Amino acid sequence: MTTQKQDFPILIIGAGIGGLATALALQQAGFAVQIFEQAKEIREFGSGLTLWANAVRVLQELGLDDLVQQLARQPAPTRAGFYTMRGKQLVQLPPQTVEEQCGGPTIAIHRAEFQAALLERLAPGTLVLNRKLIDFEQDAAGVTACFVQGERVRGSLLIGADGIHSQVRQLLFPQSQLRYAGYTAWRGIATDVTPQLMGELWGRGKRFGIVPLSEERIYWFATCNTPENAAERPEGRQKELLDLFKGWHPAASTLINATENSAILRNDIFDLQPLARWSKGRVTLLGDAAHAMTPNMGQGACQALEDALILARTLRHAHSLENALDVYQQKRLARANMVIVNSHRMGLVAQWEHPLACWLRDSLLALTPPQMLLKQFKRVASYTWESSC
């Protein structure tokens, strides 16, 4: 390891999962870090997210085995896999088989609880709230973050972990573009229900997903092909979803009914056209700011966690902080862009609407051995990074 003189802290913009995990990894590597978040408070929001084996390994590398053990204590579903809209199983993917193939468990967690768990492990005073970045300036010695309140903060590096609508990315690469995936997603968490299956129900231009969480909660999501920025129905999200998924397996309506209308989230789904670069000088991108992807492979948070670990390791062993950002980019960019592409393609097929195309898709899926289907997920989730660090 090369010991480096650090005159100023590393500045991280954004206190989402990627930003918090990066701060934790950097502090463990001996760096001074400051996170700036535009929100006035860290509120509990969001729904569930999936952490595949590659993300679980990152948490273990960061010394969060206790968190992993806590999350792994979830109810084992009696059925898991992909289904038709009425619940006929197309392919079975038992959690134990997935774990064996991917080299570790796949666990699910409430996003807000995960964020809180990372935050409480940071050094006191790391997070600064109510700071909205508007610009930055960099020179040979460091970088200055400029905030809307007029405050200017000097740092050795600046990391944009400010999400899919990243201001840092816009300043670095103004030509970068988000693309609409063609569908809207609703998400919620239901309690006091115990559906007997886990996985995804596929219909025509619609899907419904079911993921058990801890404490007898169920994270669910629904998608439907919808024009971008379509107006919401006046009767509310719960009623709209009950109409959209009428006639589907009873688990769908049960979970929708078990979630308060006000607690149902709705978002159009976008991803980021793969970038050719993430870094310029002393500034780089991380997480959704660098590689926002559709949720079809459950890898959004997982890839952000990989970013955090590899960036910290790269900086720790680098002779130059500035050059380390280019090395980090070289190690991460191709892999993250590959996941963007594969997740986008998977979403296109899953959201097919034409009856014949859907029949063909479901028929082929039913004939596909589970081991073949797992190969695509295994390629991502069983990834090891030791050789690149």
**Torsions phi, psi for 187 (to 5 deg):** -140, 150
For residue 128, tell me if it sits in a domain: yes
- Quickly state the pLDDT bin for 224 (edges 50, 70, 90): very high
| Residue 200: Cβ within 10 Å count | 18
For residue 189, tell me if it sits in a domain: no
> Which DSSP letter does residue 204 get?
S
45: pLDDT strictly greater than 80 = no
3: pLDDT strictly greater than 60 = no
**Torsions phi, psi for 370 (to 5 deg):** -50, -35
Average pLDDT of the residues in 255-275: 96
For residue 354, tell me if it sits in a domain: yes
- Quickly state the pLDDT bin for 4 (edges 50, 70, 90): low
For residue 253, tell me if it sits in a domain: no
Write the CATH number for 97. Answer: 3.50.50.60
For residue 377, tell me if it sits in a domain: yes
Q: What is the pLDDT of residues 332-366, one digit of tens each?
A: 999 999 999 999 999 999 999 999 999 999 999 99
278: pLDDT strictly greater than 50 = yes
Query: Dihedral (C-alpha) 241, 242, 246, 249: value to the nearest 10 degrees?
Result: 90
Between 194 and 268, the higher pLDDT residue: 268
pTM higher than the cut 0.85: yes
- By CB atoms closer than 10 A (0-12, 13-18, 19+), residue 86 is exposed
Q: Of 175-189, 268-282, 315-329, 371-385, which range is least confident?
A: 371-385
Counted domains in the chain: 1
Q: Which two tokens stand for residue 37?
A: 């978040």
For residue 192, tell me if it sits in a domain: no
pLDDT at 76 (0 to 100):
57
For residue 158, tell me if it sits in a domain: yes
Those residues with Cβ within 8 angstroms of residue 243's Cβ, 6 or more apart along the chain or in another chain: none
% residues pLDDT > 70 (the chain): 94
Q: What is the pLDDT of residues 63-103, one digit of tens each?
A: 988 877 776 556 555 568 999 999 999 998 887 888 888 88
284: pLDDT strictly greater than 60 = yes
The angle at the Cα of 67, spanning 63 to 71, to the nearest 5 degrees, equals 145
For residue 247, tell me if it sits in a domain: no
Expressed as residue numbers, the domain containing 75 is: 10-178+271-384
Average pLDDT of the residues in 265-269: 96
User: How far, in Å, CA of 227 to CA of 231, rounded?
Assistant: 9
Which residues of 164-261 form beta strands (DSSP E)?
A: 178-191, 198-202, 206-212, 217-225
